[in-house]
A and B are shown apart, each in its own frame.
Chain A
Amino acid sequence: MDLSIRKLSIIAFSIIYALVILGLSYLGNTFIASGVAVFGSLFLYLLIAFIMRTRDVSEFYVAGRSIGAIPIGSSIASNWMSGASFVSMAGAIALLGFDGLPYIIGWTLGYCIAAFMIAPFIRKSGTYTIPEFIEVRASYWSVARLIGVIMLFIVSFTYLVAQLVATGVIVGRFLGLPAILGAIIASVIVVAFAGSGGWKSIVWVNVAQYWILIVAYWCAFLGAAYVAGIFNPWPHVGYGELLTQLETRETFFNLKAFTEPFVRAFGGGTGHVNWLLSALCLMLGTVGLPHVLSQFYLVKDVRTARYGVGWGLTFIALLYITAPVYAILARSAFSGAWGMPVDQVINLSWVQKWLPTGLIKVMDMNRDGLLQPSELSFHNDIVVVGMPDMFGLPWFFTTIVAIGGLAAALSTANGLIMVMAVGATRDIYKRFINPNASERKEIWIGRAMLVILSAVSSVLGARALEDPTFSTYVALLVGWAFVFAAASFTPIVILGIFWKDLNKYGMIAGMICGMITALPYVLGVGLYGTAPLTIFGSKIGTIAWGSIAFLVNMIAAFLASIVTGGRRRNTQEVINFIETLKTPE
């Protein structure tokens, strides 16, 4: 069938999908309408993946290097914004106030580094994967590639398990299905997306998922903002009065003001230096994550890589600049209950709805019959998933948020599983086991890898859902992934592009020293309760420490390269490779 006809089928399905939901809603069957809306969105993604299916190796591995700037921007954004970004980040800011804002600048401004120092050169390199890039730059030293693949698997696998957990929780919360079933369904669906056409399918599924998730995020936000009266003239700059009211109430109840800096811990550290270094580590870590870097291979040329990152950050920003306002809206709704009789609070419709889920807890601890701020506790996730109810929005807003959350979790899982499948196929099978594998065989091996990875990750996801301790370790590892990426990949990739004296000894020394600096500190402070170091009066937390490890990596790579002869140790092939990166396309 012609591709344009197949594309038309997506539009036809979307229209039928919308009509069925509208019809069910009109008939008043809101539960079935919600179910159809959520599962219908999954079918839409499957349809897109199927239509974009391919048997071509280049399309499977790098989408034929054919993606334009705006589609890749959407794909970068949805690949980046996980279920946690969608559901939990606004809640984290609602809890941490100003001290949670390193998440906002840290998880966005890293893309500037990507645009200026990495993306165009990765595209220009002609390689297919980051481990391959590292191997070529390390004078075709296969050990470097192997280390790269191992790092890729550690980071991506942990991240994938966290996404499956998030999907399970979302499905469980909104549809009342067991969370484990949700995680298994998610892993099967992701394999179907990736197996049909590799990156070619994934990119276009990601594009659809981005627009669905951002519309969902904004729908509930704009509805709540309208009810809260912060359209003066626009919510992102119009919440001044609401914030003042909130902070007045906080002062009345002897709480620290929401925007007061450096009163809450971030990553186990406190203070100004910790805040700055944490933000910096998240930026440096972002650009070292394999599933982020892999997107730069998919674009049609260097120019598209530059603009694509620009669009990517624009689309990410649409969510990230909204999360702090979400946090203020939610905190304002919570603060409205402070001082009210506890019986009255329990009868608020949104409290009634979410109390059984455990996402909010009301407890009259001092038995005075009135609700004190400490007697209303909340989970991060309630800020986004409960927002429609807090502001009395119609039922379908909650469904829209569920569809958005699901899209966010799946879109990140798509990219992660694909990065690992390509890593297993190209960096291990094709490189070390069967270099003469045919294209057809490579794709089938890739598909088999997808199934294996999906099965293992869904087992671990189910374990995380059942065992809170295991789940805590997964969450910690996701946070530390940024530290490890900043300590290992990021400095080497940047130096590898911009400094021709970097040789394989420098690369290995840098990665080893970076990890030796990062790992004991992260484990000690984050897991075993060791007291954090104090720098300029700030306690340095685990995430902030990643910036120090980045610096150590840079210095070690520099010294080791110089001591071992610098560029003279690079082969002619490496010199040619560096020249390719330096010359215009």
Chain B
Amino acid sequence: MPKIDDINYPIENSGKATSDENESEGHMVKNKAAQWYWRRLKVITAVWMIAWSIPAVVLHIPIGATSSIKILNGIPLHWFNAALLSIIIGVILIFLYAFLMDRTDRIIKLSAKESNDAD
């Protein structure tokens, strides 16, 4: 989890700048923050889509092996994976994604607020 500093906000320089410089610097800061946010969002999305492929596809590839494994007094694993486990993994993935993106949004909001306060 990166800290606010990692966003590379040049807040400490803003005090000595002229108003024009401040405006252009503020714009640069905003751009940098937006770029950081988008990069992070894309990485999280890519990781979560790879994770999604597990319940959606990967879990159902080795059917030959999983169909011969019985769990819980006789439920074949390949059936259990498709009928229950995949969906539960899907639900967990969405909530984890929402939680992580929520934290990312908070970081960006907090840094924006710090930037405004410094201005």
**A317 engages B94 (CB within 8 Å):** no
**In the docked arrangement, what's the CA distance between A243 and B94, Å?**
31
**A240 engages B98 (CB within 8 Å):** no
Decide if B109 is an interface residue (CB 8 Å cutoff).
yes
**A583 engages B34 (CB within 8 Å):** yes
Give the residue among B42, B55, B75 with the most A Cβ atoms within 10 A.
Answer: B75
**B34 engages A303 (CB within 8 Å):** no
**In the docked arrangement, what's the CA distance between A183 and B78, Å?**
40
Mark each residue of chain A from 254 to 293: 1 if its CB lies under 8 Å from any CB of chain B, else 0. Answer: 0000011110000000001001100110010000000000
Contact of B75 among A240, A309, A320 (CB under 8 A): A240
**B94 engages A584 (CB within 8 Å):** no
Distance from B40 Cβ to chain A, minimum over Cβ atoms (Å): 10
Decide if A539 is an interface residue (CB 8 Å cutoff).
no
Distance from A412 Cβ to chain B, minimum over Cβ atoms (Å): 20
Decide if B87 is an interface residue (CB 8 Å cutoff).
yes
Contact A276 to B75, CB < 8 A, known contacts A109-B52, A112-B90 = no
Distance from A91 Cβ to chain B, minimum over Cβ atoms (Å): 15
Distance from B88 Cβ to chain A, minimum over Cβ atoms (Å): 7
**B78 engages A236 (CB within 8 Å):** no
Decide if A534 is an interface residue (CB 8 Å cutoff).
no
Decide if B73 is an interface residue (CB 8 Å cutoff).
yes
Number of interface residues of A (CB under 8 A): 51
Mark each residue of chain B from 54 to 92: 1 if its CB lies under 8 Å from any CB of chain A, else 0. Answer: 011100110100010011111110110011101110110
Decide if A510 is an interface residue (CB 8 Å cutoff).
no
**In the docked arrangement, what's the CA distance between A520 and B86, Å?**
33
**In the docked arrangement, what's the CA distance between A272 and B63, Å?**
9
**In the docked arrangement, what's the CA distance between A303 and B106, Å?**
11
| Interface segment, one of A114-122, A164-172, A345-353, A465-473 | A114-122
**In the docked arrangement, what's the CA distance between A122 and B75, Å?**
40
**In the docked arrangement, what's the CA distance between A276 and B104, Å?**
34
**A108 engages B90 (CB within 8 Å):** yes
Contacts of B61 in A (CB 8 A): 276
**B45 engages A117 (CB within 8 Å):** yes
Contact of A306 among B91, B102, B108 (CB under 8 A): B102
Chain A residue nearest to B60 in the complex (CB)? A276
**B83 engages A317 (CB within 8 Å):** no
Contact A306 to B101, CB < 8 A, known contacts A117-B45, A276-B60, A498-B42 = yes
Contact A313 to B57, CB < 8 A, known contacts A321-B84, A584-B105 = no
Contact of A280 among B57, B71, B91, B97 (CB under 8 A): B57
**In the docked arrangement, what's the CA distance between A275 and B56, Å?**
11
Decide if A37 is an interface residue (CB 8 Å cutoff).
no
Distance from A127 Cβ to chain B, minimum over Cβ atoms (Å): 20
Contact of A310 among B38, B48, B60, B91 (CB under 8 A): B91
Mark each residue of chain B from 24 to 67: 1 if its CB lies under 8 Å from any CB of chain A, else 0. Answer: 00000000001001100110010011001001110011010001
Could you name 11 residue pairs across A and B whose Cβ atoms are closer than 8 Å?
Answer: A112-B94, A115-B98, A116-B45, A237-B84, A241-B74, A279-B57, A310-B95, A321-B88, A324-B84, A584-B34, A584-B105
